[in-house]
Amino acid sequence: MAYFDEISKVKYEGRNSDNPFAFKFYNPEEKINGKTMEETLRYGIAYWHTFTGDGGDPFGAGTAIRPWDHLKGMDLAKARVEAAFEFFEKIDAPFFCFHDVDIAPEGDTLRETNKNLDEIVAMIKEYMKDSKTKLLWNTANNFTNPRWTHGAGTSPHADVFAYAAGKIKKGLEVGKELGAENYVFWGGREGYESLLNTNMKLEQSNLASLYHMALDYSKEIGFDAQFLIEPKPKEPTTHQYDFDVATATAFLQQYDLQDHFKFNIEANHATLAGHTFEHELRVARESGMLGSVDANQGDLLLGWDTDEFPTDLYSTTLAMYEILKNGGLGRGGLNFDAKVRRGSFETDDLFHAHIAGMDAFAIGLKVAQKMIDDNFFEGIVDDRYETFKSGIGKQIVDGKTSLKELEAHAIDIKDINLKSGQVEKIKAKMNQYLLNI
Ligand SMILES: [Mn+2]
């Protein structure tokens, strides 16, 4: 059965195309700096938002009209697999991502859940044989079911911790079975609401133990995926342990996990943490831990995680700058952890939204590459820190000076020739780059 009958394969038609079902900027075969756009951008489709989500929010029921709405249970799960692979083919997606509960319904026990998963995973494996779409990452949903109310790996109850461990074990097996490139840990409810009843040290140490056990088990079964932590500062808990990249880096270092994890960085989580998307990418890149990206955007007028499709070209350009300076995303990719707005309830909107996001990052890639070719930011930064290249500045950088020497250098200085930061001039030039692609 076809679920998106009226839509044919989305193709690149160029910037002047009037066809809403065509890419205007994303041309998968076009080479940018020696690599095709498809190879660099490594787009992924988020199963949960696109096939499982129904447009419901805390104030109202789902609005989405989907051709699989009439089905339930395992029949619904199977229809979603069929629809997903038809969608992947039509949108030309190289990757997809899922949580366990997105693809198969939970049973009353972990044993029943695993049985449902096995059936759907076998079906997905069959579909993958005839599809170019690969699994970018999978993960365990340890946050939706009421048992995770107080956390999963940070739960105050040992049975909940064991249940979480069992689900992760299964997730690693599923990842191996489907050839996942990465395995993601999003903290979900790993945090706390109030210190009045919380043993923070025990919770964090238990979480680290869970990660170590996951590493051991993946080694044992020969699953060589890249492990990724996805920071988020708040929501659902008040204080999430993986607040941002810097906080999560300290956690990984404290528990000797830093050599085994990279980060999956989500734009909307960055802005919730009070950072820009590019800030989080930069912090991860500078420590060699930029692994993958959840490509979306938040609404800066709202204080919660809106998971919108990315359309802000400043943001996609600065993100692609970080990704290109990182030498690409390696085994990671750009996963559209994004949902159509509740009011965008028609099936066609799934295509419009992905086309918008794919074009926005394609523009970002082209503009960022052009700026790198021109040494645009590098030139600005190089000039700005010029005084550290020689003399006392070089001695500071090389660690060859002292407070005494620095005082002697500074003691009679009257005028320091500080230069303007020229942020407005830089932004105006960036606008020229964006308009001239
Ligand atoms: Mn989000």
pLDDT (mean) for 374-403: 98
Ligand 1 center to residue 82 CA distance, Å?
26
- Of 340, 303, 296, the C-alpha closest to 319 is 296
Residues 413 and 360 in one domain: no
Q: Are residues 89 and 16 in the same domain?
A: yes
294 known member of a binding site: yes
Write out pLDDT tens, residues 198-228: 999 999 999 999 999 999 999 999 999 999 9
Nearest alpha-carbon partner for 311 in 357, 265, 256: 357
Q: How many domains does the chain have?
A: 2
Cα angle value 154/294/203 (rounded, 5°):
10
Q: Inform me whether the pLDDT recorded for 424 exceeds 70.
A: yes
Q: For 266-313, write each residue's pLDDT tens digit.
A: 999 999 999 999 999 999 999 999 999 999 999 999 989 999 999 999
For residue 419, give the nearest of 372, 378, 369, 383 by alpha carbon: 383
3-state SS string for 185-252: EECCCCEECCHHHCCHHHHHHHHHHHHHHHHHHHHHHCCCCEEEEECCCCCCCCEECCCCHHHHHHHH
* pLDDT, position 1: 63
Q: Residue 3 domain-assigned?
A: no
Is residue 244 part of an annotated ligand binding site?
no
- pLDDT at residue 342 is higher than 90: yes
Residues 61 and 26 in one domain: yes
Give the DSSP letter of residue 17: -
What average pLDDT does this structure show over 256-263? 98
Cα separation of 230 and 266, whole Å?
7
Q: Residue 199: its pLDDT value, please? A: 98
Q: How far is the CA of 305 from the centre of ligand 1 (A)?
A: 5
Q: Which domain holds residue 395?
A: 377-435
pLDDT of residue 224: 97
Q: Given 330, 350, 374, which residue is the final one in a domain? A: 374
Q: Are residues 398 and 317 in the same domain?
A: no
Is 6 among the domain residues?
Answer: no
**Which of the listed residues 324, 354, 374 is the one where a domain comes to its end?**
374
Among 329, 353, 374, the domain-final residue is: 374
| 54 marked ligand binding residue | no
Is the domain of 337 the same as that of 350?
A: yes
How many angstroms is it from 434 CA to the middle of ligand 1? Answer: 27
Q: What is the whole-number distance in angstroms between the Cα of residue 180 and the centre of ligand 1?
A: 21
Residues with CB under 5 Å of ion ligand 1 are 268, 305, 307
Q: Specify whether the CB–CB gap between 388 and 394 falls below 8 A.
A: yes
Q: Report how far ligand 1's centroid is from the alpha carbon of 186 (Å).
A: 10
- In terms of domains, do 357 and 414 share one? no
Per-residue burial over 202-233, b = 16 or more CB atoms within 10 Å of its CB, e = otherwise = ebbebbbebbeebbeebeeeebebbbbbbbbb
Q: Tell me if 305 is assigned to a ligand binding site.
A: yes
CATH number at residue 208: 3.20.20.150
Residue 4 covered by a domain: no
Positions marked active-site? 99, 102
Instruction: Report the distance separating Cα 184 and Cα 230, nearest Å.
Output: 7
The pTM of the full predicted model, rounded to 2 decimals, is: 0.97
Q: Is 269 annotated as a binding residue?
A: yes
